[in-house]
C-alpha cells in the first residue's frame, strides 16, 4: 500500500473520531500556514547542503560528510513521535530501506526532539536507520524549514496531552515543515519534497525512483 493510501485511510478515521470543531480548527490553521509560503525559503533541487553532525538515538554522532562518502543520503525531517503522519512516513521509509541500500543510499530522519525522545521514536516504529536529534532546530533552520506552530493549535495539542517541553526541551513551539531530501555525493540536492501541509508526505517510491535515475 502506498504511503498516500495509508494517510488517506488514517484521515478517514480521524474525521470519524474527532469533533467537527476540532477538525475545522485543524483545517483552518493548516490552510493559513500553507498561505504563508514558508517552503519558498527551503533548500531546493540543485542547491548544496553544508556539512553537519547530529547525535542519533543511540547517542552516537552522525556526520553528513561521512555518510556521503559511501553514497547518496536521504533526509526526512519530521515533527515528532506524537504526529501520526510522521509515524506513518517513518514506517513507510523503513519498509523501503533495503531498496534504498541497494542503491548505496543512507537514510536518516531528523526532528528537534531530545535524544531520549528520538530513541522512543526509533523503538516505537522499529526503525532500522538513524533518527537524529536536531536540538533547537539548528539544521532545520539551515534548510529553511522552520515555522512556529499556531497558538490555537498549541492549545489544542496541549489539551491532547502533548507535552512539548518533554519532547523538545522548550516551549518555543518551533517545528520543521515535513520535508524529504536526496543529496548526492557532491552534497547537491537531487530530490526535494517540502510541504506546509503536514498531511502530505513524500512517497518512498518517488525517492527510490530519484536514486535509480541518478545511478543510470
Helix (H) or strand (E) holding 56: strand 53-56
- pLDDT for the residue numbered 15: 96
- pLDDT for the residue numbered 175: 97
Per residue of the chain (216 residues), what is the pLDDT tens digit? 899 999 999 999 999 999 999 999 999 999 999 999 999 999 999 999 999 999 999 999 999 999 999 999 999 999 999 999 999 999 999 999 999 999 999 999 999 999 888 878 888 888 899 999 999 999 999 999 999 999 999 999 999 999 999 999 998 999 999 999 999 999 999 999 999 999 999 999 999 999 999 876
Which of 54, 67, 77, 212 has its CA nearest to residue 144? 77
Domains and CATH numbers, the chain: 3-215 (3.40.30.10)
- pLDDT for the residue numbered 214: 85
Grid cell, residue 5, equals 493510501
- pLDDT for the residue numbered 216: 61
Rounded CA Rg of the chain: 17
Whether 207 and 74 have beta carbons less than 8 Å apart is answered as: yes
Neighbour-count burial of 202, counting CB atoms closer than 10 A to its CB (0-12 exposed, 13-18 middle, 19+ buried)? buried
- pLDDT for the residue numbered 119: 79
How are the residues of the chain apportioned to helix, strand and coil, as percentages rounded to the nearest 5? 45, 20, 35
- pLDDT for the residue numbered 5: 97
Amino acid at each position: 500500500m502506498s504511503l498516500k493510501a495509508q494517510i488517506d485511510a488514517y484521515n478517514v478515521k480521524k474525521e470519524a473520531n474527532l469533533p467537527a470543531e476540532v477538525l475545522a480548527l485543524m483545517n483552518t490553521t493548516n490552510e493559513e500556514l500553507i498561505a504563508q509560503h514558508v517552503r519558498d525559503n527551503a533548500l531546493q533541487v540543485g542547491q548544496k547542503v553544508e556539512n553537519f553532525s547530529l547525535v542519533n538515538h543511540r547517542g552516537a554522532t552522525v556526520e553528513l560528510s561521512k555518510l556521503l562518502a559511501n553514497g547518496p543520503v536521504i533526509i526526512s525531517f519530521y515533527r515528532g513521535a506524537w504526529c501520526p503522519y510522521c509515524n506513518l512516513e517513518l514506517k513507510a521509509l523503513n519498509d523501503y530501506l533495503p531498496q534504498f541500500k541497494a542503491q548505496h543510499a543512507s537514510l536518516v530522519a531528523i526532528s528537534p526532539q531530545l535524544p531520549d525522545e528520538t530513541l522512543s521514536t526509533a523503538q516505537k516504529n522499529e526503525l532500522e536507520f538513524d533518527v537524529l536529534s536536531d536540538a533547537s532546530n539548528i539544521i532545520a533552520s539551515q534548510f529553511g524549514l522552520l515555522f512556529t506552530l499556531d497558538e490555537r493549535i498549541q492549545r489544542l495539542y496541549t489539551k491532547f496531552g502533548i507535552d512539548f517541553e518533554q519532547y523538545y526541551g522548550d516551549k518555543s513551539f518551533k517545528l520543521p515543515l515535513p520535508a524529504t531530501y536526496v543529496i548526492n555525493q557532491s552534497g547537491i540536492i537531487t530530490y526535494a519534497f517540502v510541504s506546509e501541509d503536514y498531511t502530505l508526505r513524500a512517497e518512498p517510491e518517488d525517492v527510490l525512483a530519484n536514486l535509480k535515475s541518478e545511478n543510470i
